[in-house]
Amino acid sequence: MLQNQPSPSRRRSSGTQSPHVRVMDHDSDAWRRFSKRRYGRHHGTWMPQGSSRLARFYLNRLHEPHSFSGLAAGHAAKSFCGFSALRSRLLSLESTSRLSNLLDDDLQESLHELFETRGIREKHVKALLALENPDELDQAMSVLFLFGSKKTPFAVAKVAGKGCPEAYLMEREHKVITSLRKHARSSLQPLLPPDPKIFRSGSHTMFLQPFIEGRPLSVQLRNSWNPRALASRQFSMAADWLSTFHRASTQGRSALGGDLAGEYIANILKGLRGVTSLSDRERQMLDHLSHLAWDLRSEEVPIVGCHGNFWARNIFEDEGEVRVLGWSDFRDRRLPFRDLLLFAISYGLIYPWKRGNRVYPVPAFSASLLERTWLSERIRDFLRGYCRVMGLEERLLDLFLPLFLAEQVIVERGLARNHEAQTWRSLFREYAERGGFVWFKS
């Protein structure tokens, strides 16, 4: 996939390839245009040097500074986008390389095959902007923004090697969106993304989707000089979209007791005990949750479609219109709390608390939920407002917030290749130790 540190050894000693390998047709004008161009890397994004158009797109749509100096440099670079040398210096490009050294041979061959057979001819692609895996878990997936002659891309391609987890998620997202497009009720259709296409070559799977106008909420937040003022607007947009989506996908209501209690409460508590050892305080909280679930057993909750990955990076806003991407974790029958709580908690984790700087997850989580801060009050308003719209008892949040954290611990441990994955485990411990038993009672 993308080569993080291209080495001279990857350069070809001659202009020929072995007979069974054809790398995007080296004789074509398109390939010569791509291969000769030098790319600079900034925060995991490779962009062509000297292209003010792509630099401006990157700064407006993708750049998420992690410090106040990065925020200032990004804004300055926007002002000097037409001056290539100054822009590169402001962004402090980490390394440069020719595109032929960034994409490994298998990926180049797959792109050639996919472009030739699926109507996206190389000659139609005037420029590429390549994004490494944004979650930085591994480099099994690359995201390619395909530019024609306009200021924005005409398509976005996610490419992963066959057999890796990312390829499976891309296949699943394609099935989810096409199925919803075909079968979902009319009130749900405007909330869905445009139809994607899935292509398979000998070694790669490509998920191709038309470019969505707008900026992710996370990009807006991280680039704002006044994120506090922006946050209120973003919570309102998220609340409106989510309540509309859940109402449009509701499949009735059911009492919390019985089968729902087994699936969404007892199974999670049992699973948590099976993947980690618990402190006395954490065991006390689990006992409290069992009693609270019994007290709330007659409360009716809606069964809704669950987006599954509803957080600020997947939510795009363009002049007040909200679109949501990232549907690979969609489930058609779930309780509504996962989407609600994932947005609220993750927002606090990415919020630029200290002059544009992120803080470590536990302090950010505490400031978002367990302390009296302006953001914790805003999150409470967001969660309570959702409950009012959906006709839910607020005390259900005291039950499902720690259950959400527990479920994330189980998932985190299941995905980890070793036992070093501790983010959600640390947040669950913090919630228990800080006495987060009756958060919404007052």
pLDDT (0 to 100) of residue 137: 36
The verdict on 246 and 174 lying in the same domain is: no
Domain membership flag for residue 81: no
Higher confidence at residue 147 or residue 248? 248
Residue 126 near residue 149 (C-beta atoms within 8 A): yes
Per-residue pLDDT band at 186 (split at 50, 70, 90): very high
- Assess contact for 425 and 277: CB atoms under 8 A: no
Parallel, antiparallel, or unpaired for β 96-98 and 38-42? antiparallel
> Does position 18 have pLDDT exceeding 70, yes or no?
no
Reported in sequence order, the residue ranges of 65-202 that DSSP labels E, i.e. its strands, are 96-98, 127-132, 141-147, 155-161, 197-200
Q: Identify the domain boundary among 211, 229, 256.
A: 211
Determine the 3-state secondary structure of 96 from DSSP: strand
Residue 321, classed as helix, strand or coil, is: strand
Residue 226 sits in the same domain as residue 111: no
Q: Are residues 166 and 246 in the same domain?
A: no
Mean pLDDT of the region 60-73 = 85
Residues 6+ apart with CB under 8 A from 340: 242, 383, 386
Q: 211, 232, 253: which is the final residue of a domain?
A: 211
Q: Using CA atoms, how far apart are residues 220 and 35, in angstroms rounded to an integer? A: 33
pLDDT of 77 reads: 79
What's the pLDDT at 200? 82
What range defines the domain where residue 294 resides? 216-433
Q: Is residue 358 part of a domain?
A: yes
CATH number of domain containing 336: 3.90.1200.10
For 264: left if phi > 0, alpha if psi spans -120 to 50, otherwise beta; the answer is alpha
In angstroms, the Cα distances linking 57 to 81, 89, 132, 301 are 10, 18, 16, 43
Give the relative orientation of helices 280-295 and 395-415 as an angle to the nearest 10 degrees. 130
**Count of the separate structural domains present in the chain:** 2
Beta-ladder partners of 40: 47, 96
Domain end, chosen from 145, 178, 211, is at: 211
pLDDT of residue 353: 86
Residue reference for tokens 């470590």: 360
Q: What is the pTM of this model?
A: 0.86
225 and 198 within one domain? no
CA angle 300, 301, 307 (to 5 degrees): 170
pLDDT digit string, tens, across residues 350-387:
999 877 777 899 999 999 999 989 999 999 999 999 99
Examine the pLDDT at 17 and tell me if it is beyond 70.
no
Q: Are residues 250 and 195 in the same domain?
A: no
Residue 29 lies in a domain: yes
